[in-house]
Structure 1
Amino acid sequence: MTQISNSPLTILGESIKLGESKEVNFDVANLHTATPVNVPVIVERSKKPGPTVLLTAGIHGDEVNGVEIVRQLIAKGINKPKCGTIICMPVINIFGFINLKREFPDGRDLNRVFPGSTGGSLASRVANKLIKEVVPHADLILDFHTGGSGRFNAPQLRYTKNNKHLDELAEVFGAPFVLYSKNLSKSFRSTCAKSGKDLLLFEGGKSFHIDDVVTNSGVNGVKRILKHLGMLKTVFKASKPKKSTVFIEDSNWQRAKYSGMFKASITVGAYVEKEDIMGNITDPYGKFNYFVRAKTSGYVINVNELPIVYQGDALFHISTELK
């Protein structure tokens, strides 16, 4: 249910009235050097009441493409709504971002400790503060992620199936793919779902890499959502996606049959027929060359871009059943 109110928004101890802009600090702990760590939360409120949209990124410190999407939304002023409120948190795991690591300094994956606790680990405390002091204000959450190391994800949205409302929002967002997936235990997405909060998780690209196609997909998707909610200022254009979103009911990973040097010959997002050649595995000595053929027909939504693979490594993520 959309929360529309004329009263001030109190978030992280700061009161923000309609028509005000404010940067508040998501403060949890200093660095081990006693240096303060400021995690800015950018809040933009229109003079006109409306929905509240929360844009989050950087739950994993190495997923810079998601950070770039939210950064662009702020830099271009897209986060200044025509009505309602937009809250931006470009880097939630600032500790991992500083150290160029996925996890927190305590070794924990922030996306596996929600809802967290006030007396737990550092990651748990960050999770708890996010859930208790920021998330309750949101009507819709758009959470931006990136693929793993060396594995390039096609731009896609993820959420559980049989959710008509999220299906409608996904159509509006216009990412190339929707991959229905179960909520992982103690994840941000799972915790928000239990709290009754709508959340679309965006995946695209690979860690430690900024890709223009993925970034544009994320930025354009947000603009379409904001326009749909009546929140996008008229100065910004929300173009329709060039192709309809493909909804994927099920998918499989195709793994390496041999160890060796690997090179994909297809691009992420492509459609392949069974037995199509998708790449090859060779040895360093020019004595071995194995062609990797598609075991099923489907869309390739992830490609391993690492040059060295071992037997059993995931090479391609391919859709097996469409909606």
Structure 2
Amino acid sequence: MHMSEKEVLDILGQKVGLGESAKVSFNVAKLHTQNRIDVPVIIERSKKPGPTILITAGIHGDEVNGVEIVRQVIAKGINKPKRGTIICVPVINVFGFIHMDRLFPDGRDLNRVFPGGKGGSLASRVAHKLMTQIVPHADLILDFHTGGADRFNAAQIRIVKNEVVLDELAQVFGAPFIFNSKNLNKSFRNSCYKLGIPMLLFEGGKSFHIDNTITNTGVNGVKRVLNHLEMLNRKFKVSRPKKQCVRITESKWIRAKYSGMFKPTVNVTSKVEKGDVIGNITDPYGSFNHFIKAPNNGYIFNVNESPIIYQGDAIFHISTKLED
């Protein structure tokens, strides 16, 4: 691996030698009150050289569950490698995190402005700094996300199709689902893909919410990947995934035919058959009750947990094609 064997890691103006730990500031911009805002970048290096893994979360400021996974990785000391280097950035969009907002103060979605530019919008500058000063050190990136709004995502790893390295690592991670999804234009994942740096993108849970199952799946997945790369500290045990991993190659959103009060009757990760009732929509006056039926056999891997929905809202994500 190219970058990894370096004796000294020169990152954000600080030099970190083998066997050293460091907390480096990813300084972005001041708040409007002139308070400095520093995103801590937590670096742990083994005395033994090896790969460099970058673990990130909080590209969207409301995706607290992803941040919690990275927090636990650090708090438990999983980020102290047996060989190589682990760099953790628990909250990339700290502005959004402060305001409990998905976006940047300039109203931009950070995950749609990569690779960014030095003289662009605030979000664009942050993307640029991340891509030029942190990402080039990495041999592999684990990026943690959470379902948007009230849509609860089953724990899943998202990768593009037919990438041998990613396929293997996604299997190793051991989330219940691997979802083949295209790299979105101007996303963090796409920009890393263009640099040839593999990324496992984890999705799980819903915004403003911490779910223990999702958190545990994420932390266990990190341990399995590190163990696979012979980087996991000896004191940690690696568990086998509880479920056989399902690979989803194609899927569709089931949308609400009516506005009303919504109750899903299946759990996220459920296997359903065509025609099964998976939820219902009612009105406050008890005058109508619409049953939502599965349009095909498949797995439900995202459920909208909002009690009030409008016609056309995405309420379930169902697989339409699995890889054998």
CA positional deviation for 1:4: 3.4
Amino acid at match of 1:61: G
CA positional deviation for 1:38: 1.4
Question: Cα RMSD (Å) of the superposition?
Answer: 0.7
Q: TM-score, normalised by structure 2?
A: 0.99
Partner of 1:147: 147
> Matched residues in 2 for 1:304 and 1:6: separation?
46
Q: How does 1:32-111 map to 2 (within 5 A)?
A: 32-111=32-111
> Matched residues in 2 for 1:149 and 1:274: separation?
27
Q: How does 1:237-256 map to 2 (within 5 A)?
A: 237-256=237-256
Matched residue count: 323
Other structure's SS at 1:202 match: strand
Partner of 1:187: 187
Identity %: 68
Partner of 2:19: 19
Answer yes or no: is 1:156 the counterpart of 2:156.
yes
The unaligned stretches of length 5 or more in structure 1 are none
Deviations 1:117-157 (A, max 9, x none): 01011000000000000000000000000001110000001
Answer yes or no: is 1:302 the counterpart of 2:305.
no
Amino acid at match of 2:68: E
> Matched residues in 2 for 1:185 and 1:6: separation?
32
The runs of at least 4 aligned residues of structure 1 exceeding 2 Å deviation read 1-4
The unaligned stretches of length 5 or more in structure 2 are none
Q: Does the 8 Å contact 2:157/2:201 carry over to 1?
A: yes
Answer yes or no: is 1:232 the counterpart of 2:229.
no
Q: TM-score, normalised by structure 1?
A: 0.99
CA positional deviation for 1:6: 4.5
CA positional deviation for 1:3: 3.5
Other structure's SS at 1:39 match: strand
CA positional deviation for 1:107: 0.5
Cα 1:62–1:297 shift into 2, 3 Å: same
CA positional deviation for 1:2: 5.2
> Matched residues in 2 for 1:163 and 1:6: separation?
27
Q: Does the 8 Å contact 1:3/1:50 carry over to 2?
A: no
Answer yes or no: is 1:321 the counterpart of 2:288.
no
